[in-house]
Each structure stands twice: as C-alpha cells, then as structure tokens.
Amino acid sequence: MSDAKTMKNAMEIALLGAAIPPAFMALRFVQGQKQAEAVWQASQYPKLGDIGSVKNLSILPLIDWRTASDELEGEPGVSYLIRADDTTILFDMGLNRDFKHPSPLLRNMEKLGISFDEIDMIFISHNHLDHVGGMQHVKDGIFGPSAGYVNLHQAPAYAPVPIVNPSATTIVVEEPTVLAPGIASMAPIPRQLFFLGWTPEQSLAINVAGKGIVLIIGCGHPTIQRIITRKEMLFDEPLYGVIGGLHFPVTASRSVRHGIPAQQYFGTGRWPWDHITRADVHEAISFLYRRDPKVVSLSPHDSCDWSLTAFQDAFGSRYVDLMVGKEIEI
C-alpha cells in the first residue's frame, strides 16, 4: 500500500473516530426524547384526593444567585428552607462550585441561624450538580450540603433517582406521594437533555388552607407547562403560587465555563444550537397567567435578567424577588 493511500485511510479512520461521540450523543438524545414523551403520555395519575393542608408556609432561599445581604453568598445553585406548619424541609443542596467545606450553603445557614437539627425532611428536585452539592457528588452518586461530612440525622430524603448520603435515609419517589399533611411530591417528570442526559425532575406541591397549591420547583427542566399540567391532574385546588427555577437563560448565563455561556447550551432539552428564546418565555408566562397565580417568584440561578424582568412586568405586584435570606411568606 502506498504512503499516500495509507495516510488517506488513517485520516478517514481519525475522522470517523471524531464523529462517533457526537453521533452517539445525537442518537441518545433522539431516543431519550421519544422515551420521555412515552413516559409522559403513559403517566396518567388519579387525583391525590384530600392530602390535608397547612395554615402557614414560608420559603427561605439559602442558596441562589442573588442575596438580600452582602454577608450572604450567592451562586448559580438552589437550596431553600421550607417551613410548612410544623414540617421543615430542606429543598436541594446548592452548587458548592469549589467543593469547599464548609460550603456556601453551610456558611449561609450559620449566618441565618439555621441548624440541621430542625430539618424534618430533605427534598431533592433532580440530580444535577447545582442541586446536589457539586460535581464531585454527582460523580460519586451522592448528595450533600458540603464537601465534608455533615450529620443529617438520618432524615428522610426524597429523591427522583437512587442517590445517597451516609447520614440520611433516601426514599426514591416514582409516583405522586404525600410526604406530610398538605405536602406532596408530584412525581418525577423526565426530560432528555443533549449533554446532561436523562433527567427526571420532581416538584413540591403544598396545599395552603384557603388559598390553594403552591409549587416549588428546582430547575423546571420538564417545562412549566408540563409541571402545571401534572398539578392539574393531581389536584382540584387552584394554583396559588409558583416559586423556583424555570431555566430561561435567554440573553445570558449565570454559569460561564471557559468563556461558554453554559446554561444556554446545557439543560434546555433542545439541540445545542436551538436556544431558548424570548418567545418561549412569553409563551410560558401566558400559560401561567391564565391560571391566575397570586404569587410568582422566579429563581435567578438559571434565568437571565431579561427573563426575570419579563415575569415581573407580567405579574406586577404578585411578583416577588427571590433572594438568599429574604423569606417568602404565603
């Protein structure tokens, strides 16, 4: 075989090898999209019925992008302390980008006077690094509030996938589940993401007496349309509030890696070149507006300032800024 032909064959093999990973990801994405749609169509649940209610509800952001005080730390991750009557819930674990101990979450908790002794249960919305405490935790298949050991007192931890923590008791949620009087998981809704793969995400529904259902959402990967459709499948009570992330990084990304606006490419549920648009945000706002919620608070951890302003303009006095250290009371 001539040197020229050998070189040509080598180049063809190299090009084929370079094309395999993108081709595999594309195939995985298409197949995952079909599977997610099939799961969605098959998930026809009956009403949850009388799950009870709570009289008082508050949501205190412990980790998010914006802070109410310079003494608190912000990052593009999520952790909320939810107090629903006598039940206290830690919702997600934040990002801890530099994998420190103590983490920003622990430092904020200390400044806000919050201890793990008062937490009755843990709720993990989905298994992404900005919600389970960092990339290393994702790699290890665990969740945690810091890089070092923290005693969670074997609190029940409701997660959509089998992730663990040595000091918590993980319960994998597969269907709508009442967690305490007036408090329920609406069950995971999966979505296939191009880079991040199969992503089941669950949202928390809390029935507030005399008001209705308040939804607390981690990232909104399934889309707000499907999350609210699931709520309407499970509950007769009206939608009173929507609080949390909906992933609308239209004009910017809070997370930038190697100069790349990561959130505009990761987590959209679309092809990498098919970004979320202003029209998508207006469509979501219109869908939500027709349900006439009385409280709307969009997390800035995965949505840009343009999207926050669009929600604020649409809902006016019903819109509440979501900031670390600023308690939202229902």
> pLDDT tens digit string along 3-52?
555 554 554 444 444 455 778 888 999 999 999 999 999 999 999 999 99
Structure token digits, residue 159: 């997660």
Q: What is the CATH number of the domain that holds 170?
A: 3.60.15.10
Closest by CA position to 129, among listed 195, 79, 77? 77
In the block, which residue shows the tokens 């979450």?
Answer: 105
Phi, psi at 234, each rounded to 5°: -95, -25
The boundaries of the domain holding residue 204 are 43-329
Closest by CA position to 49, among listed 204, 200, 233? 233
The answer as to whether 146 is a domain residue is yes
The answer as to whether 141 is a domain residue is yes
pLDDT, tens only, 248-299: 999 998 988 778 888 888 888 999 899 999 999 999 999 999 999 999 999 9
pLDDT, tens only, 188-221: 999 999 999 999 999 999 999 999 999 999 999 9
d(CA 247, CA 128): 13
The answer as to whether 21 is a domain residue is no
Number of domains in the chain: 1
pLDDT at 290: 98
The answer as to whether 57 is a domain residue is yes
What is the pLDDT confidence band of residue 88, given thresholds at 50, 70 and 90? very high
Burial of 257 from C-beta contacts in 10 A (0-12 / 13-18 / 19+): exposed
The answer as to whether 29 is a domain residue is no
Could you tell me the pTM of the whole model?
Answer: 0.93
